[in-house]
Structure 1
């Protein structure tokens, strides 16, 4: 099957790698063409525009950073909505505002294509292994059509409603975890006077009721960075995390709801980005906070 991936950042590239590994003929497009080169070297074919990619593929998977990129790829010159989409399937896996997902989904279906939203939980490694958590919105018929592809990318798939439902739940899923990374930094800060080894402290904190499942994968890395090791590979960058927080806060405002804890965490992510850490992993927020507010050690 010919599958196109529109957007080859960290997650889009990992999804494309997964599709290549399971035997699909993969096409790729990115606004920065340089980001497609490793995938071309791995066997993918690059296209110069979203429209060209869509017309060459049976399925188009969209994985973009934000609403601005989404509007460009769907609505700009030679965009997806300028393509002959009739009969094709578009799966949008971006984390964007629910109203944006509703808008682009409706526009795609008006052109005679099937559309499914599937924002995903997970980072690069789960994407490469086909172990993402898919939060799906769309009609039952379109979701059924998309399932064979989604099952190759996701360990669990939940159809949670119509267009916009998956985007809404994805914002909810990300919110507690990203707040946690800031809270962890604050917890580490008040533990500094104890002078415990970072690996021991992280091990203790990880084995408590307050620790999320993500600590199993990231805890050891955080401990190494606390000990002075380099930041290492980014699984989910601070800029992307900040965008998700801001999107959740904006969406809550449209519901006349308040997210005071998320707003506070958002400010901390914004501060870290302004300090030049935008491309660092989101867990760097935890480490940075211990360096920013370091109490004196006990004598």
Structure 2
């Protein structure tokens, strides 16, 4: 390649990103050759010359060529087609792929370039709408010498160049970044639906978020809390887990009460421990199993419930604590609320209103279920377990609600 300041740039594809890259390069005075299937593609691009006749002509006139096409098929044609870049490339040319494609395609294209002595970099870019303002981030994958040779040209259109690692690393980083973007859009959509169903103008939700976190740091807070090994310290995750669980349970309850579908909230709730790098809840050692089972009893039915369990060593009672609560209720796959609803359904088939009262009462004490939700459950279950058992279920639920609801003093 020639001296860094004299390196010639090429751009193939003059859409929003490629056109913006070309404008930024022209503004910096970089020698520039471009190609697009539309002959007039550069007419509205300030300082950008008219398109040449083929990608091959761009390769002949350039030292670093940015390929800004839409998909893998177009990238193959532009790079390796009959009049593609490689048909006129000389050793020392560097091809920089700006299109988002699958990693196997990255390695395929890099192999084609290597056969001709041409360097190749995969380069995710973001945000695309800032391309013409020298405002994008270039997310690079490739070997260090090829990166170093291309950086002077890349810096003419990118406000920051980030070398993420070897070939494919740039594309993987861009794809991961897209997950954050589109996953965030889904969470915003779900949150706005929830707020709207509760009578809140979504604009007020946006106002709260913008004011509380104007720089958007909360979105990446989990990454910044991770240690040098890339995982969240267990002590930190342990502190966050109960708060995260409580808040997501509240969100699920609100969604259920308003009839709003919240699948992302459900997934976030069931994956709390994995999100916080706590893994699946480990089964306690044998000497801690009984204590853990008693703690789970209190989580299921309310503080102090386990104090009524007799310490007699009787096998059935021991297995109730050590197996049913420690090993089954304590598993991470379902929340306590989920397991309670399943248990309520089974209990409804027995017609034992005193058992229903205990199960429903735990849901009220833990703020997992509202009285109206329990009444709705009684009606739903009656259809499946029969009206006689349903009557017992309704009676038990009503008794739990009355016991949980403060009674007003007579006036």
User: TM-score normalized by structure 1?
Assistant: 0.64
The match for 2:43 among 20, 37, 40 is 37
CA contact (8 A) 1:89 1:146 kept: yes
Unaligned stretches of 5+ residues in structure 1: 216-259, 265-299
Q: CA deviation at 1:42?
A: 3.1
CA RMSD of aligned residues (A): 2.8
Q: Is 1:189 aligned with 2:231? A: no
Match of 2:12 in 1: 6
SS of alignment partner, residue 102 of structure 1: helix
Instruction: Please give the alpha-carbon distance, in whole angstroms, between the structure 2 residues aligned to 1:75 and 1:113.
Output: 12
Question: Residue 36 of structure 1: CA displacement?
Answer: 3.1
Describe how 1:91-240 pairs up with structure 2 within 5 A.
91-125=96-130, 127-207=131-211, 212=216
Say if 1:85 and 1:108, in contact at 8 Å, map to a contact too.
Answer: no
Q: In the alignment, does 2:22 pair up with 1:16?
A: yes
**Bigger radius of gyration:** 2
Look up the match of 1:26: 32
Secondary structure of the residue aligned to 1:157 is: strand
Cα separation, 2, equivalents of 1:27 and 1:128:
16
**8 Å contact from structure 1 (residues 177, 212) kept in 2:** no
Measured in 2, the distance between the counterparts of 1:210 and 1:84 equals 47
Residue 52 of structure 1 corresponds to 57
Q: CA deviation at 1:25?
A: 2.4
SS of equivalent residue, structure 1 residue 38: coil
Paired with 2:155 and 2:67, the residues of 1 have a C-alpha distance of 16
Q: Identify the structure with the greater strand proportion.
A: 1
Q: 1:60 to 1:214 in 2, by over 3 A?
A: farther
- Which whole-Å CA distance do the structure 2 matches of 1:78 and 1:204 have between them? 54
| Contact 2:40-2:50 at 8 Å conserved across structures | no
* Other-structure match for 1:281: none
In the alignment, the residues of structure 2 paired with residue 180 and residue 94 of structure 1 have an alpha-carbon distance, to the nearest angstrom, of 22
Q: Secondary structure at the match of 1:145?
A: helix
Residues 136-168 of structure 1 show CA distances to partners (whole Å, capped at 9, x for unaligned) of 111111111111112223333222222212111
Q: Distance in 2 between matches of 1:201 and 1:89?
A: 47
Q: Determine the C-alpha separation between the residues in 2 that align with 1:105 and 1:207.
A: 45
Contact 2:39–2:50, Cα closer than 8 Å, also in 1:
no
**1:76/1:113 CA distance change after superposition, 3 Å:** closer
Cα offset, 1:173, TM superposition? 1.1
Aligned equivalents of 2:41 and 2:180: distance in 1?
31
Q: Counterparts of 2:68 and 2:218 in 1: how far apart (Å)?
A: 22
The alpha-carbon distance between structure 1 residues 77 and 212, as it changes in their structure 2 partners (threshold 3 A), is farther
Say which SS state the counterpart of residue 42 (structure 2) adopts.
helix
Q: Give, in angstroms, the shift of residue 195 of structure 1.
A: 4.8
Aligned equivalents of 1:43, 1:13: Cα separation in 2: 9
1:45 deviates by 3.1
Kept after mapping to 1: 8 A contact 2:12/2:36: yes
Q: Identify unmatched segments of 5+ residues in structure 2.
A: 1-5, 220-262, 268-411
Looking at both structures, which has the greater relative contact order when contacts are Cα pairs under 8 Å and sequence separation is at least 6? 1
C-alpha distance in 2 between matches for 1:214 and 1:51: 47
Matched residue count: 216
